[in-house]
Every structure is written in structure tokens, then in C-alpha cells.
Amino acid sequence: MKAAAFASTTIAAVAAFFASTAHADVDPIVIKGSKFFYKTNGTEFFIKGVAYQQDFSGNGTSGSNDYSDPLADPDGCKRDVPVLQELQTNTVRVYAINPEQDHSQCMQMLQDAGIYVIADLSQPGLSINRDSPTWNDQIYARYASVVDSLQNYTNVLGFFAGNEVSNNASNTDASAFVKAAVRDMKAYIKQNNYRQIGVGYATNDDASIRTDLADYFNCGSPEESIDFWGYNIYSWCGDSSYQQSGYADRTQEFSNYSVPAFFAEYGCNTPSPRKFTEVGALYGSEMTPVWSGGIVYMYFQEANDYGLVSIDGNSVSKLDDFTALSSQIAKVTPTGVNAASYTPTNTKAQNCPASGTAWQAATALPPTPNKELCSCMFESLSCVAKSSVSDETVGKTFGYICGQSQSACDGITANGTSGVYGAYSMCNATEQLSWAANAYYKESKQNPSACDFNGVAHTQSPTSAQGACSSLLSQAGTAGTGTVTSVPTGTGAGAASGTKSGSTGTSTHTGAASMMNVPVLNLGMLQLGAYVLGAALTGAGMLLL
């Protein structure tokens, strides 16, 4: 822990603070061109933010589902909101919330303090994995449920559909899956008649791909591209400068970007304690025409030594970094434009990067996850996978099936580089393995032994597709390689059904997309893409099951 100038905030002081604070709705933040504005008065909005989540790490990999939702902790919010206000904080970024928990108290406290929220849609165990990316119905339901749970709070500024997923030249294909998530969450918000809330992406600062990344997420149709761009950048360390840090170069690169761009994380912590001299540049005249502010990483002191404060129960101790940031923030008054007099000139989207050695993401995106389609498909099969199967066995089964018959796996192939996706590539693990097993079973003339795979699968009586199911399966085609144009009709399956209260009223949603229950294989870190993509090369050497 760093040396600290300790100052404690007591529960009594916090209670007095909130007792004297009037409740009032905040003005929603809207986007016009490459800038944020307060909706009502048109004043330009510059983010003065702090990352606010304890004990969390989840950059582009899937892992444990164990995390603590900071917006579902009223005691923590009572303790921390006054401290955040001392830093003139107007935005917090949270990396994972639990959509089944109540956020009304924390969101009200933040609203009363004039603080907006940018929320990442993923959680550690349900995110797009950079090493073997997929955009499936389970992740879709997770993302949609977060939108459902937060959309009715007027102080929600926007959502991140991914954070540092493609972080070097070896995994840029994963960006196709994240961009599909951006597309589908934008469509989901519109489909449900929610107010306009932006969906963006937060990137790391890798020199080999930074330009291609920014171009890729901004190119193409408005329905597919980001609403804002978040930059996690740690290049200003200690007594640096606008030129030396690379800030001048980054500002020039984004001078014609067509959507708002801001620092989604900043605050290099070497040397320590931090001086935060970059604050003056970020909110100064050279950067504010291009950048909409930034979010300091981070509020809580943890093992990585990025904290502004240390927490002991209900007590907050301000560290040297807090004092330095507070001093620098107090010096800045960013000057912007008014929405009424602002006419965007940088309205042209970027050109999509050509796929080559440094960039491997196709402009063709994965299909929209459709739980109804996947459930209809599963019910129509004669041979289906069991749910209680080990990761290793699942891998061997996929390897064998796809190696013996590539056509059996065409319907579940998802290749972000070639832009080739099967209609069922977005289904969950059980459904995908069932599709492949059934295709192999049919090719084997439905020999009973061909639907076993050492106990991995079994036969069932298929359901004849009727009505909507018939239409969906017809679009997917008998080989599973067709294009399904029908969109999901349900809300986020992971959302808690019922009424969620917020500053703008109440909203009731039922997870219609979960109307059919299909057992799901517990693959943990395992993703199916690696098996399907590599099976044709390895099938001859796989263990015959």
C-alpha cells in the first residue's frame, strides 16, 4: 500500500450529506456527431470519471463468475459517493453488474450527485473470449439482461460491448464477434423502444493494431458501428508531456473520428505516487476539440496499486494519488460547444481495414443469436448431446465428428477471419454439439451406434417443426448454412422478471427468449470455435470414439 494522507469519512457524515441533498432527475446525455451533450440545455459534456469496481479483472477472457456488483451495494455507495464528488466525478465506469440484483438505491445516490454510469455488458464468465471468440445466445442473453436492468435510469450514459478483447495482432479476428455484439445490442435497445443509449467498445493501446481497431469499429453501416470509442491508455507516466506521451499523435489520429472518443481508462502508476499532470492536457484546449474527457483507473486500492483510496469497512482513507488527482482536476474547466450551434463536419465513417497480416477480422459479422431458432433446431433433432459431459470429452467428440465429416459442422462454423458463419454458430454448446452429432448420425444412415460417441449423445423423438419454428429452420436450411433474417423476439433471458424501479419510473420485462429450456454443457473456459475450426486438420488423428 502506498503512503497515504489519511482522512476518514464516517457513516454519520455520509448520512448528513444525503439528508441535505435534494432528489432530482439528471439530464440524459445524448450524442451529436463526435460529442456528448446534456439533452435539455445542449451544453457539451466532458467525462470526469473514475473506474469503480472492487476485485475485478476481465479483459477479453472468460473465467470465474465470482464478482461483486458495486451498484448493488447501498452501504458502499453511501460511503463512496461523497468521496467521488470531492474529485468532481461526473461518471463512473463499472465492469460487471448482476442484472438480478436491485440497483435502485445506488443509482439514485449517483443521480443525486450528478454522476452518470458507463457499464460493461459482460461478466468474467460470460464474455467474448479473445482466444476462441464466439457470440452466442448465452452471452447475448447476459448482455441484454444488463441493458434491461439499467436502461430506465436516466444517468446511464452508455454500455461497453467489450473491453480489450483484441489486444494484439494475433487475435484481431475476435473483433468481428464484438462488433456483432455492438450491432445486436443497438438493435435490442431500439427493438424494445428504450431511450437512445449508446453502445461502444473499450480498447487497449497496442501500436500494431490501434489504427485498424479504431477504423474497424467505426466503419460500415451505422447499425453495425459503435456509438462511442473508449481508449484505455497509460502512456503519460510521471513528468511527461503532450508530445512525449503520444497524446498529440493520438489526438491527431482521432481528429476526424465520427463518434465521441474518450479515455476509458488512464493514469499510469509509475512512478508512484502519481502526479496526474496529464489531466491538464486532457481537459485543455488542444485535446477537448477531439476528446470527451476520461476515466481514471481506479477508485479502490488493490494489489496493482492503482487505487485512489483504501477501504476498511465503512471508512475511506484517501491516498496520495487521490490528493494529486483532486488538485489537478480542480485546475481544469474544459470549454466546449453548444449542441444548437454545433454542426459536425467529421460525419464520414472510417474505411474498413483490409484483412492481412496485421488485421484478421472480416467485415462480415456473426449472425444475431436467436434462442428460439436454436431451441427449435434442438427439438427437431433425432440425435442430441447430453449435458453432463466433461470438457475433454466434448473436445474429442467435436474433433472426431468434424474431422470425419466437415459438412456435419458447417452449420456451426464461426470464422471471424473468412467471415463464414453457420446459422447455428451462435447457439450454446449443447445445441451446437447436438447439431453436429445429428448430422453425423444422418450421414451414417441413422445407425443406432452412430448416436453414442461413448455416451456423449443419445437419440430422442424429434418434434415436427410448426409455425415460427418451421419458418426459422427453413431460413437456416437443411445444411445449417442459410441466412436467418428473423430477429429474436424475447428480452434478455438472464434478466430478473418483474418490476425494476428507477428514476424514470418502472419497467416490467419477461424473458420470453427463455421459453424453451435446453440443457447446457458446462464448458467453463472452453469455447467451441477452436474445435470446429481445427477439426478438419486434426480429424484423421483424433481418437475414434
Please check whether residues 264 and 166 belong to one and the same domain: yes
Specify whether the CB–CB gap between 180 and 249 falls below 8 A.
Answer: no
**Residue 247 counted as domain residue:** yes
Strands 309-312 and 228-233, sheet pairing: unpaired
- pLDDT-derived band of residue 490, with 50, 70 and 90 as boundaries? low
Please check whether residues 230 and 83 belong to one and the same domain: yes
Average confidence (pLDDT) over 103-131: 96
pLDDT for 521: 53
3-state secondary structure of 273: coil
**Residue 153 counted as domain residue:** yes
Other beta carbons within 10 Å of 407:
13
Question: Distances from the Cα of 320 to the Cαs of 263, 279, 315, 501, in angstroms?
Answer: 22, 16, 16, 38
**Residue 189 counted as domain residue:** yes
Catalytic residue among 44, 164, 379, 431: 164
Please check whether residues 173 and 257 belong to one and the same domain: yes
Please check whether residues 296 and 418 belong to one and the same domain: no
Q: Is residue 99 predicted with pLDDT exceeding 80?
A: yes
Looking at the DSSP bridge assignments, the partners of residue 78 are none
pLDDT for 390: 79
Q: Is residue 336 predicted with pLDDT exceeding 90?
A: yes
Please check whether residues 270 and 392 belong to one and the same domain: no
**Residue 525 counted as domain residue:** no
Which of the pair, 510 or 330, is modelled with greater confidence?
A: 330
**Residue 534 counted as domain residue:** no
- pLDDT-derived band of residue 448, with 50, 70 and 90 as boundaries? confident
Average confidence (pLDDT) over 346-371: 93
pLDDT for 507: 36
**Residue 21 counted as domain residue:** no
State the cell numbers at 126: 460470460
In the chain, the number of structural domains is: 2
Q: Is residue 12 predicted with pLDDT exceeding 60?
A: no
pTM over 0.85: yes
Contacts for 207 with CB less than 8 Å, ≥ 6 apart: none
Q: Is residue 89 predicted with pLDDT exceeding 60?
A: yes
pLDDT for 506: 35
- pLDDT-derived band of residue 1, with 50, 70 and 90 as boundaries? very low
Contacts for 370 with CB less than 8 Å, ≥ 6 apart: 137, 426, 472, 484, 486, 487, 488
CA-wise closest residue to 468 among 375, 382, 366: 375
Q: What is the CA radius of gyration of the chain?
A: 25
pLDDT for 491: 53
Among the three residues 294, 326, 341, which one is the final residue of a domain in this structure?
Answer: 341
Helix (H) or strand (E) holding 393: helix 391-404
Residue 100 annotated as catalytic: no
Q: Helices 74-86 & 104-112, crossing angle to 10 degrees?
A: 20
Whole-number Å distance between alpha carbons of 471 and 439: 20
Q: Is residue 93 predicted with pLDDT exceeding 70?
A: yes
pLDDT for 456: 94
pLDDT for 25: 79
What average pLDDT is seen over the chain?
87
State the cell numbers at 245: 506521451
pLDDT for 406: 85
pLDDT for 8: 41
pLDDT for 195: 96
Model confidence pLDDT, tens digit, residues 19-74: 334 455 799 999 999 999 999 999 999 999 999 999 765 444 444 567 999 999 99
pLDDT for 66: 78
CA-wise closest residue to 173 among 124, 231, 212: 212
Please check whether residues 180 and 225 belong to one and the same domain: yes
Please check whether residues 286 and 385 belong to one and the same domain: no
Burial of 400 (0-12, 13-18, 19+ CB in 10 A): buried
Which of the pair, 18 or 213, is modelled with greater confidence?
A: 213
Catalytic residue among 265, 278, 379, 431: 265
Please check whether residues 469 and 422 belong to one and the same domain: yes
Q: Is residue 425 predicted with pLDDT exceeding 60?
A: yes
Which of the pair, 406 or 118, is modelled with greater confidence?
A: 118
Which of the pair, 430 or 14, is modelled with greater confidence?
A: 430
Please check whether residues 298 and 193 belong to one and the same domain: yes
State the cell numbers at 524: 467453463
CATH value at residue 256: 3.20.20.80
Please check whether residues 153 and 215 belong to one and the same domain: yes
Q: Is residue 543 predicted with pLDDT exceeding 90?
A: no
Average confidence (pLDDT) over 523-528: 42
**Residue 443 counted as domain residue:** yes
Please check whether residues 330 and 383 belong to one and the same domain: no
- pLDDT-derived band of residue 529, with 50, 70 and 90 as boundaries? low
Which of the pair, 75 or 358, is modelled with greater confidence?
A: 75
Burial of 240 (0-12, 13-18, 19+ CB in 10 A): middle
Among the three residues 476, 509, 537, which one is the final residue of a domain in this structure?
Answer: 476
- pLDDT-derived band of residue 366, with 50, 70 and 90 as boundaries? very high
Which of 165-174, 326-335, 530-539 shows the lowest mean pLDDT across its residues? 530-539
Residue 265 annotated as catalytic: yes
pLDDT for 344: 96
Q: What are phi and psi of 94, to 5 degrees?
A: -115, 145
Please check whether residues 324 and 388 belong to one and the same domain: no
Model confidence pLDDT, tens digit, residues 138-188: 999 999 999 999 999 999 999 999 999 999 999 999 999 999 999 999 999
CA-wise closest residue to 368 among 510, 182, 125: 182
pLDDT for 292: 98
The domain in which residue 466 lies consists of 371-476
CATH value at residue 406: 1.20.58.1040
pLDDT for 516: 38
**Residue 524 counted as domain residue:** no
Q: Is residue 246 predicted with pLDDT exceeding 60?
A: yes
- pLDDT-derived band of residue 387, with 50, 70 and 90 as boundaries? confident
